[in-house]
Amino acid sequence: MLNRTLLMPSLSESLFYKEVHLLKPISFDKVFQFEKFNSLCKGFVQLAQYSEVSNRTDIFELQKGSGRRWTVQKDLDQLRQFGKHPYDEYEIIRIVGKNPFLWHDHWPVKDYAKIFECLVLREEISREADKVVSKIRDENRKFSQEGNYLSLQEVSYVAVHMRIEKDWMIHCKKLEQRSNISEICSSKEQIMQRVGNISGLKAPIVIYLAVADDLLEDNSILTGWKEGLLPFEKKKLGVLDIYKKQPYLIQSAIDYEVCLRSDVFIGNSFSTFSSLVVLDRTQKMIAMGTRELCGTNVRWLSYAYNLEGESNSPRLWATNMSDSSLQAISYGSNRISCR
271 sits near ligand GTP (criterion: CB under 6 A): yes
Return phi, psi of residue 316, to 5°: -60, 145
Looking at the Cβ atoms of 163 and 315, the one nearer to ligand GTP is 163
Residue 208 in contact with ligand GTP, rule: CB under 6 A: no
**Residue 301 is inside which H or E element, if any?**
strand 301-308
What is the Cβ-side half-sphere exposure of residue 26, based on CA atoms within 13 angstroms? 15
Measure the CA–CA gap between 232 and 258, rounded to whole angstroms.
Answer: 13
165 binds ligand GTP (CB under 6 A): yes
Rounded Cα gap, residues 292 and 288, in angstroms: 11
Q: Which is nearer to ligand GTP, 140 or 271 (CB)?
A: 271
210 binds ligand GTP per the rule CB under 6 A: yes
Work out which of 46, 49, 179, 272 binds ligand GTP, going by CB under 6 A: 272
Binding mask 18-57 for ligand GTP (x = CB under 6 A): ----------------------------------------
Cβ atoms 110, 322 nearer than 8 A: yes
C-alpha span between 321 and 279 (Å, rounded): 8
Which range, of 23-31, 59-67, 110-118, 209-217, touches ligand GTP by CB under 6 A? 209-217
Binding mask 236-255 for ligand GTP (x = CB under 6 A): -------x----x--xx--x
Residue 209 CB coordination number (10 Å):
23
- Answer for the pair 114, 43: CB distance below 8 angstroms, yes or no: no
| Residues ≥6 apart with Cβ < 8 Å to 47 | 5, 6, 7, 8, 28, 34, 37, 38
What is the rounded CA–CA span in Å between residue 146 and residue 75?
61
Residue 84 beta carbon to ligand GTP: minimum distance, rounded to whole angstroms: 35
Which residue in the set 62, 212, 239, 277 belongs to the binding site for ligand GTP (CB under 6 A)?
212
- What is the distance between the alpha carbons of residues 48 and 51, in angstroms, rounded to a whole number? 8
Write down the least CB distance from residue 154 to ligand GTP, Å: 25
- Which of 212/293 has CB closer to ligand GTP? 212
DSSP string, 253-272: HHHHHHHHHSSEEEE-TT-H
Could you tell me the smallest distance in angstroms from the CB atom of residue 159 to ligand GTP? 10
Q: Does 232 engage in binding with ligand GTP (CB under 6 A)?
A: no
Which residues in 73-102 contact ligand GTP (CB under 6 A)? none
The smaller minimum CB distance to ligand GTP, of residues 172 and 321, is found at 172
Q: Applying CB under 6 A, what is the total number of residues that bind ligand GTP? A: 14
Give contact residues for ligand GTP (rule: CB under 6 A).
15, 163, 165, 210-212, 243, 248, 251-252, 255, 271-273
